[in-house]
Chains A and B, each alone.
Chain A
Amino acid sequence: MSKLSIRDVRKAYGATQILAGLSLDVEEGEFVSLVGPSGCGKSTLLRIIAGLEAQDHGTISIDGKPVDPLPPKHRQIAMVFQDYALYPHMTVAQNMAMPLIMASLPWHARLPIIERMHPLARRGRPAVEAHILETARQLGIDHLLERRPAQLSGGQRQRVALGRALVRSPQLFLMDEPLSNLDAKLRTQVRKEIAELHDSSKLTFVYVTHDQTEAMTLSDRVAIMQAGRFLQVAPPVTLYEDPDNVDVARFVGSPEINLLPAQVIDQRLRIGDQLLDVAIPASASGDLFVAFRPEAALLDGNLPQDGTRVSGALDFNIAGVEDHGADLILHGTLATEPSVELRLRAHKTPGGQTPNLRVGGRQPIRLIREGLLFFGADGKRLRGPTSTPSMAPSTATISAPLSKKVAAL
């Protein structure tokens, strides 16, 4: 039985459809991210899971029980908000005590002034304080308990928000872009802390973000959303290496995947004015897109000696070189007619020589066969057995180009 089950959830605001019938199962202890551009409905879905908004159609179940009629406080969830939503007039300790007080005291004991002297509130206070101290120690914020949110840094506020969520001992941990208000360095650090929290707490997480790095590094599975639909729900590596459609392929990975318009003619791939002998899925025909990641190209024109299967050499005109330290990102065009823009990645090896890559230069490249992905004109992935070109058993070669220009080497 899955921890969280979303069944055909739909939501519209007036005539605008936000969620178009979503279904998803999240297993116990799993970390699932909802990723997509702004306006794709990911936050709305999270708010519906939390019970802060009602869906028009469909069911949300937690632990196998439908929770649709339940208010947020009875769903055994905790939520961390983008702006942390700490109560600015309360100290850190009071912020963290809020869910405990609300759950443990009857309404008349929670009224202002009365709360200070009500016997129930007084009796419960030591337990509440102990609970808060324990959680605060876990998160390393026990020295901040008497401060107010205004006196805290962004990272500290973030931790207080986590603390307030944790004291509830939730079944399900919901996070709505919790890192987007932090600077880059802190973001990496808190990201690591969230991963550790997930490992140590064994809780089930649903995490909304527009940052693919967060989603890829934190998640067991990532749900890519667009226009109120799931494009693909899969582990990060699968999304990167084996995307179901062009939108997923383009969304995941930075720099973006290279997408080349191509045609299949006589079991051969034609890119611009060049013909390329590579393995082509049996279902491929006519116009399609061939895609490959920036690192799926060899940057010297030589044939590899280790048996990697590559295409024939293609000429790449270098228009820009970005040195990222560990690797180089090259921008440029493929010397076909018409030309296609490419982004390539060249890894630097310590002590090794950097290939002679300079702006304005021309570099023969070979595409690694296993890195080639085929998409139909409708954007759907073309899979299935590939037909191996008969001409070359281990390497594909450029056959006679259509134009006067021949790819050198």
Chain B
Amino acid sequence: MTAAATTLARTQQRLAYALAAPAALLILAIYLVPIILVLVFSFTDFTLVRDGMSFVGLENYRQMAEDENFGNALRNTLIYAALFLPAAFVIPLVLAILIQERQRFRSVLEVLFFLPVTSTLAAMALVWAALMDSKQGIINVTLNSFGLDAINFLGDPDIVLFSLAIISVWSIIGFNMVLFLAGLTAIPPSLYDAAAVDGADAPLDRFFRVTWPMLGPTAMFVAVTSSITAFKLFDTVALLTQGGPDRASEVFLYLAFKEGFEYFNMGYAAAMSFAFLLIVFLFALFQTGSTDRRVRY
């Protein structure tokens, strides 16, 4: 290589590093350093009320294994996810297929269903609280007028997770529906023509032979993001139930928040957060690995 070419290669290399540096530094500062800090804190007895901290090894993780509240929060989170996920997946999928086939009003319907996504969930949670109020809430008033018993949506330990799931589903339908619509639009129309000629023109056949397999990557994305959303449930709990009644709606992230910022056990909260990160990571990994990746031209 000539000297000039070597100099040019070096200059380009320096430029490449310089251009990549801001993004790399930001990723480091925003994602990697905090994760490492949380991991470090989780091995200490760091608390907000006392200066200094000491290394306690796996003590926080041992405590987690014995903590009844932790087990309770984990169970609540899983029950909530089991209620939330099927609805958050199936309802948007059905809506997307129905809207996709419409010529008229398609954009109007898209906007309508997407509206909840644009609103502030904290504010909307208060509206839901008013709707779901055990006495004056419009839902219970309606139920009463039909002669049915009122339902204590947010006060009954057996029902509160249902109620929270309903609110979350309402807020995520539009988002997932738009994702599914994007996936549906990407399916070549000639596939449906070919399916019609081949005899797969009934709705079920169309869905199982063409739509569902072709939606594979989209469905995977929706499933993973919705699962993470489910595990991250926090704001409606903090605003509406504060984990109550009697810890019936105390979910994973809310418990970690309480430990860290109400009881000031930052070390323990850090350990919980790290466990949360691991669970979500494993869950997403499992989902990605188990989905059908055959759809590719």
Contact = CB atoms under 8 A, between A and B. Distances in A.
Contacts of B214: 88-89
6 contacts: A73-B196, A73-B199, A86-B194, A87-B209, A107-B204, A107-B205
A197 interface: no
Contact of A89 (B188, B205, B216): B216
Contacts of B198: 73, 98-99, 102, 164, 168
B297 interface: yes
Contacts of B294: 88-89, 148
A81 B196 CA distance: 12
B174 to A, nearest CB: 28
Interface residues of A, number: 32
A156 interface: no
A50 B297 contact: no
Contacts of B188: 83, 85
Nearest to B204: A107
In the A-B complex, list the 3 residue pairs whose CB atoms are closest, starting with the nearest: A102-B199, A85-B194, A89-B213
Nearest to A108: B204
A112 B196 CA distance: 18
A150 interface: yes
Contacts of A87: 191, 194, 209-210, 213
A150 B296 contact: yes
Given A71-B196, A87-B210, A89-B294, 20 more contacts: A71-B201, A72-B196, A73-B197, A73-B198, A73-B199, A83-B188, A85-B188, A85-B191, A85-B193, A87-B191, A88-B295, A89-B214, A98-B195, A98-B209, A99-B198, A107-B202, A107-B204, A107-B205, A110-B205, A164-B198
Interface string A373-393: 000000000000000000000
B190 A83 contact: yes
Interface string A74-92: 0001110111011111100
A282 interface: no
Interface in A44-65: 47, 50-52
A149 interface: yes
B199 A99 contact: yes
Interface in A141-160: 148-150
Nearest to B205: A110
Interface of A: 47, 50-52, 71-73, 77-79, 81-83, 85-90, 98-99, 102-103, 107, 110-112, 148-150, 164, 168
A50 B198 CA distance: 11
A81 B193 contact: yes
A273 B297 CA distance: 62
A79 B190 CA distance: 11
Nearest to B196: A72
Interface residues of B, number: 26
A83 B216 CA distance: 21
Contacts, number: 79
Given A82-B190, A85-B188, A103 B199 contact: yes
Nearest to A102: B199
Contacts of A82: 190
B200 interface: yes
B213 to A, nearest CB: 4
Contacts of B208: 110-112
Contacts of A148: 294
A150 B204 CA distance: 26
Given A88-B295, A89-B292, A52 B193 contact: yes
B210 to A, nearest CB: 7
Contact of A102 (B190, B200, B210, B213): B200
A77 B197 contact: yes
Contacts of A83: 188, 190
A384 B190 CA distance: 48
Contacts of A71: 196, 201
Contacts of A98: 195, 198-200, 209
A42 B178 CA distance: 35
A69 to B, nearest CB: 14
Given A87-B191, A89-B213, A52 B295 contact: no
A150 B297 contact: yes
B204 A111 contact: yes
A88 B194 contact: no
Contact of A81 (B190, B205, B216): B190
B87 to A, nearest CB: 22
B46 to A, nearest CB: 51
B197 A79 contact: yes
Interface string B207-241: 01110011010000000000000000000000000
B192 to A, nearest CB: 9
A88 B197 CA distance: 17
B296 A81 contact: no
Nearest to A148: B294
Interface in B147-184: none
Contacts of A78: 197
Contacts of B193: 47, 50, 52, 79, 81, 85
